[in-house]
Structure formats: structure tokens, C-alpha cells
């Protein structure tokens, strides 16, 4: 862990971030970070609770003179997305994040940084540990598993919190005050198929799509970034149509909430078509690179000979698969009619696995409108069912409906303008925040979301802007001083 991180201002926040990033904290494997957070609260002598699902709540009394202010829930999630470059040797289960400073940015060496949502967690830790920061009574809520199901927020029972205001510290633009977010649902298509012995006179090739930026499948879905699964399928479709290409294996993408950066496939073609196949496929690769030259300048596609695979997919199943993936929507489905420039509904074809007689396709469908979310999910379901897949919905969570009459919104909007001389961007986002879920058991709680500038979340290019963290920290301190009195 670089010492230079701990010397950044505000030191109390960056030191807590460095402490947190030394603890492995993958989603669904949060045992170590839960223990870390419980020890942190208990060592401060504060009331510390672990609920039935693993969320940690730490309660701190108000500072002198702030006892009559409304109790504030400060909330962030403990888990982080684990992504690394293919050439990076790193074990997320055992290693802490290796951070460094480059100009005005904190980055990680070949992996995700964990600023999403580690900077929010570190902010709350710094407030809890402080002895000179004025604040009302605080209930610090550290949820688990936000990135792969939001099961922590879903499992939080009513009655554990008494706060009237919730500050969610999980937004990634420092001029934005979040008042709403998208809900989501996982759409998973599966089927089995009969493997066939590879016909005679076939030769094997390995196709590798890599070098894409990846990124957040909600916040960046509208940017036109390349999806490795769709690009790979385009190559396979062309090879099948023109040369009778047969598929042996596909392994594309990783996490549902990350735009796929890489995909690999093992295929077979007739030996007599080798030269024509390579020429045609390279021509298509060049075309795709031209299409993506602005957004994906580092896109790389390699096609190399390999041992001829022993088995390939059943021909009819293969044809249905590549046509279904071609037809399945990836990207923006509908823009909001009510909020300018807001993506309402989208889909990310996140994972494609074909191997040993089994197909699995994983999608994350998001929308701020429940009916539109289900409409797109049903469209995907119909597409995959037409090719014989079984389709399952899971991980369904609600969106967060904007409340433009929010009392804390009015306080924060004025504070932001006073501090920065410009009005904040009050907006809903196309990411999944926990506010909508938490609001189900705490419907009277006034909720808001904000945070510092974080770029490239959910990818190894994730980075946090140092000057923005300083701006955000000043905002946090002023908000806590301005919390209104209890009704």
C-alpha cells in the first residue's frame, strides 16, 4: 500500500480508505470486512450491531449542541467489484488493493480500485472516529453484497434504524445530487445440448476479443462502449454463415454489472477454407475496429491456430444460439420521457458460457420504470426461449422514485451552491442504489445520494479524483452541520 495515499488530504478519509482497501472484500465473501468493521466500531466504544444478513450498524451520539437535530443514517456498501486485466497476477480473496497516485487521480495497479463504494465507507469511518467534527446523532449503515444482488439492503429489517434522513454516499459525480435510481433484474438463459465429434478435415482456431474498456453497466451503458460478447458473436455469426464455422467453447464476460471486456472462443472450420476464413474474418475485425475507433481505441482481436477440438456444438443448437445473441438487445432500450438525458431502460449481455454440453447467458436488465423493466426482460426471455433455452428471473430489486420536495434536498442544494458558486445537478441515475430497497422498510426516511468523482467504476481503469474528494469532504462536513432539528 503506497504511503503517498495516506498523505493525501483529507488525511482522515484517505487513511480509512487505505485501511479498508487492505481487507479483501469481494461480494458474497464479506466475512473479513464485516469483522473489520465490527472491530472498528467496538474499538471506538460505539454501539455496534451485525444484523441477520451481515450488515453492520454503528451508532454514534450527537456532538455537543447537536442533540436536537434529526438523526442521520450515513450509508455505504462494504463489497466491491473485482475485475483485473488478463495479464495482472492478483488474488482478490487474499490480497489488498495496490494503489498509487497519478496526477490528480488515485488508481490501482491492474485491478479495480474499490472507490465504489470504499470512499463512502471511509468517509463514514472518518466521521465516526472524529473528535472535532460537529454532527447530529449518526447511525452508520454498512451493507453487504450491493454489487451482486443487494441482498444486504433487502435483508435489512425495519426497526433497526431510527434516523429521519439517509445520506447514501454512492454517487460518482461530485456535482450531482441523486434523488432516484433504476431497479434491476437478472435474466439468465440456460440449456443443454449434445456435443458432436468434430467432423474430419477440420482445424482449430482460438479467437480472443480483448482490450475493451469495460465499465459500469448502468452508468456507462449509453456511452457506446464495446461489449465483448456481442463482438465475439458477430465474428462467430459471420464465420458460420460463410464458412460453416463450428463452436466448441465460448467464455465471455464476467460480472453482470460490468460491461464485458474480454471473450474467448474455440472453433473449428474446414481446412480447405483456412485462408479464406482468415482473410474474411480479418476484414470484419478491421471493420469493427473502425466502428469503435473513437470509443475503443485499444480493441484487439486475435485469431490463432490451436489443436482441433474433439467436440463441437450440435449444429441446430449452435445456429439458434448465435442468432439469439445477435437478436438480444444490448444497450439502451428506452430513454426517460420525464427526465432529460436519463436512460430509462437498458440491458447488459454480461456473460456467455458454452462448454461441455451446457449454455449459460447472463444479463442484467435495468429500468427506473417497473413496467419497462419487465417488458425488456420479457423480450429477452422470448428471444432465448425461441432457441430452446429455459429463462429464469432472479435478483429483482426496485428503483428509487424521485422526491423533488425532499427537505434534505433543499438543504443540500443551497449548501452546494453556497460552497461552489454553481447549482448542483439534481438527477436520477441509471445505476442500482440501495435507497429504493431501504425505503420499503423505512418509507418515512428522507433519502439522498452523493459522492466524489469516480471514473471507470467496475473496471481496472477505475480511478478517484483527489481534488474532487476534497470538494466532497467539505460538502459532507457542511451537510452534517446543517441537518435540521427534529420535528
Query: Is residue 302 situated within a structural domain?
Result: yes
ω before 117 within 30° of 0 (cis)?
Answer: yes
CA 456 to CA 434: how far, in whole Å? 20
CA 239 to CA 233: how far, in whole Å? 10
The active-site residue out of 30, 146, 147, 262 is 146
Query: Is residue 94 situated within a structural domain?
Result: yes
> What is the torsional sign of CA 220, 463, 17, 88?
positive
CA 118 to CA 462: how far, in whole Å? 12
**156 and 101, same structural domain?**
yes
Query: Is residue 169 situated within a structural domain?
Result: yes
**114 and 11, same structural domain?**
yes
ω before 10 within 30° of 0 (cis)?
Answer: yes
Spans of the chain, pLDDT less than 50: none
Q: What is the structure's pLDDT at 441? A: 92
Query: Is residue 234 situated within a structural domain?
Result: yes
For residue 309, what are the domain limits? Answer: 185-397
- In 10 A of CB 388, how many CB atoms? 16
DSSP 177-218: EEEEE-EEEEEEEEEE--EEEPPTTEEEEEEEEE-----BTT
CA 129 to CA 12: how far, in whole Å? 9
Within 13 A of 229's CA, how many CA atoms are on the CB side?
32
Query: Is residue 487 situated within a structural domain?
Result: no
Query: Is residue 386 situated within a structural domain?
Result: yes
The active-site residue out of 79, 147, 173, 434 is 79
Q: What is the structure's pLDDT at 145? A: 95
> What are residue 139's DSSP bridge partners?
59, 73
How do residues 140-167 score in pLDDT, each as one tens digit? Answer: 999 999 998 899 999 999 999 999 999 9
**85 and 226, same structural domain?**
no
The answer, as to whether pTM is greater than 0.85, is no
CATH number of the domain residue 237 falls in: 3.30.70.360
**391 and 269, same structural domain?**
yes
Answer for the pair 268, 205: CB distance below 8 angstroms, yes or no: yes
**141 and 63, same structural domain?**
yes
Type and span of the H or E element at 376: helix 370-385
79 catalytic per annotation: yes
Domains identified in the chain, total number: 2
CA 73 to CA 161: how far, in whole Å? 8
Q: Among the three residues 342, 371, 397, which one is the final residue of a domain in this structure?
A: 397
What are the grid coordinates assigned to 180, written together?
432516484
- In 10 A of CB 68, how many CB atoms? 11
Q: Among the three residues 336, 368, 397, which one is the final residue of a domain in this structure?
A: 397
146 catalytic per annotation: yes
CA 36 to CA 224: how far, in whole Å? 39
**377 and 361, same structural domain?**
yes
**290 and 243, same structural domain?**
yes
Query: Is residue 32 situated within a structural domain?
Result: yes
**144 and 34, same structural domain?**
yes
DSSP 26-95: BTT--HHHHHHHHHHHHHTT-EEEE-TTS-EEEEEPPPTT-TTBPPEEEEEES-B---B-TT----TTT-
**205 and 171, same structural domain?**
no
- Provide the b/e sequence for 263-288 (b: ≥16 CB within 10 Å): bbbbbbbbeebeeebeeebeebbeeb
**263-270 and 183-192 beta bridge pairing:** unpaired
Q: What is the structure's pLDDT at 255? A: 87
Give, in order, the Cα–Cα distances in Å from 274 to each of 66, 225, 309, 392. 76, 31, 16, 39
CA 236 to CA 207: how far, in whole Å? 9
Q: Among the three residues 371, 397, 423, which one is the final residue of a domain in this structure?
A: 397
How do residues 38-53 score in pLDDT, each as one tens digit? Answer: 999 999 999 999 999 9
What are the grid coordinates assigned to 279, written together?
482473410
Helices 11-21 and 115-129: crossing angle in degrees, nearest 10, is 120
CATH number of the domain residue 74 falls in: 3.40.630.10
Query: Is residue 150 situated within a structural domain?
Result: yes
How do residues 313-372 score in pLDDT, each as one tens digit? Answer: 999 999 999 999 999 999 999 999 888 889 999 999 999 999 999 999 999 999 999 999
**377 and 261, same structural domain?**
yes
Q: What is the structure's pLDDT at 401? A: 85
**468 and 453, same structural domain?**
yes
**202 and 70, same structural domain?**
no
Amino acid at each position: 500500500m503506497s504511503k503517498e495515499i495516506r498523505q493525501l488530504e483529507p488525511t482522515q478519509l484517505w487513511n480509512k480508505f487505505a485501511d479498508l482497501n487492505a481487507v479483501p472484500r469481494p461480494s458474497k465473501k464479506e466475512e473479513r470486512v464485516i469483522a473489520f468493521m465490527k472491530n472498528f466500531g467496538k474499538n471506538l466504544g460505539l454501539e455496534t450491531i451485525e444484523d441477520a444478513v451481515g450488515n453492520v450498524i454503528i451508532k454514534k451520539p450527537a456532538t455537543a449542541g447537536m442533540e436536537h437535530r434529526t438523526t442521520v443514517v450515513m450509508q455505504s456498501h462494504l463489497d466491491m467489484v473485482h475485475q483485473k486485466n488478463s495479464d495482472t497476477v492478483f488474488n482478490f480473496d487474499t490480497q489488498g488493493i495496490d494503489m498509487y497516485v497519478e496526477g490528480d487521480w488515485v488508481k490501482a495497479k491492474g485491478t479495480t480500485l474499490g472507490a465504489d463504494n470504499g470512499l463512502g465507507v471511509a468517509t463514514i469511518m472518518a466521521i465516526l472516529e472524529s473528535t472535532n467534527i460537529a454532527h447530529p446523532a449518526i447511525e452508520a449503515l454498512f451493507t453487504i453484497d450491493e454489487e451482486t444482488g443487494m441482498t444486504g439492503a433487502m435483508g435489512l429489517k425495519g426497526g433497526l434504524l431510527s434516523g429521519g434522513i439517509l445520506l447514501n454516499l454512492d454517487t460518482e459525480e461530485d456535482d450531482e445530487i441523486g434523488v432516484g435510481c433504476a431497479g434491476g433484474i437478472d435474466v439468465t438463459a440456460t440449456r443443454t445440448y449434445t456435443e458432436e465429434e468434430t467432423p474430419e478435415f477440420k482445424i482449430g482456431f482460438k479467437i480472443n476479443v480483448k482490450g475493451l474498456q469495460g465499465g459500469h453497466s448502468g452508468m456507462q451503458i449509453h456511452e457506446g462502449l464495446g461489449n465483448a460478447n456481442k463482438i465475439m458473436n458477430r465474428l462467430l455469426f459471420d464465420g458460420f454463415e460463410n464458412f460453416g464455422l463450428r463452436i466448441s467453447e465460448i467464455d465471455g464476460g464476467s460480472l453482470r454489472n460490468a460491461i464485458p471486456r474480454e471473450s474467448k472462443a474455440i472453433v473449428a472450420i474446414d481446412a480447405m477454407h483456412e485462408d479464406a476464413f482468415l482473410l474474411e474474418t480479418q476484414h470484419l475485425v478491421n471493420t469493427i475496429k473502425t466502428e469503435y475507433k473513437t470509443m475503443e481505441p485499444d480493441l484487439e482481436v486475435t485469431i490463432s491456430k490451436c489443436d482441433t477440438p474433439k467436440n463441437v456444438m450440435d449444429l441446430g443448437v449452435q445456429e439458434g444460439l448465435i442468432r439469439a445473441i445477435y437478436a438480444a438487445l444490448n444497450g439502451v432500450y428506452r430513454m426517460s420521457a420525464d427526465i432529460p438525458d436519463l436512460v430509462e431502460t437498458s440491458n447488459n449481455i454480461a456473460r456467455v458460457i458454452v462448454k461441455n454440453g451446457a449454455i449459460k447467458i447472463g444479463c442484467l436488465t435495468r429500468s427506473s420504470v417497473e413496467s419497462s423493466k419487465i417488458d425488456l426482460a420479457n423480450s429477452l426471455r422470448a428471444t432465448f426461449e425461441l432457441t430452446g433455452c429455459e429463462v429464469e428471473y432472479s435478483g429483482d430489486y426496485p428503483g428509487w422514485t424521485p422526491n423533488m420536495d425532499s427537505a434534505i434536498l433543499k438543504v443540500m442544494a443551497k449548501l452546494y451552491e453556497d460552497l461552489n458558486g454553481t447549482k448542483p445537478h439534481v438527477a436520477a441515475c441509471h445505476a442500482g442504489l440501495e435507497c429504493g430497497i431501504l425505503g420499503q422498510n423505512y418509507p418515512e426516511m428522507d433519502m439522498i445520494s452523493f459522492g466524489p468523482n469516480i471514473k471507470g467504476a467496475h473496471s481496472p481503469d477505475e480511478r478517484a479524483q483527489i481534488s474532487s474528494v476534497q470538494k466532497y469532504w467539505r460538502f459532507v462536513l457542511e451537510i452534517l452541520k446543517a441537518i435540521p432539528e427534529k420535528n
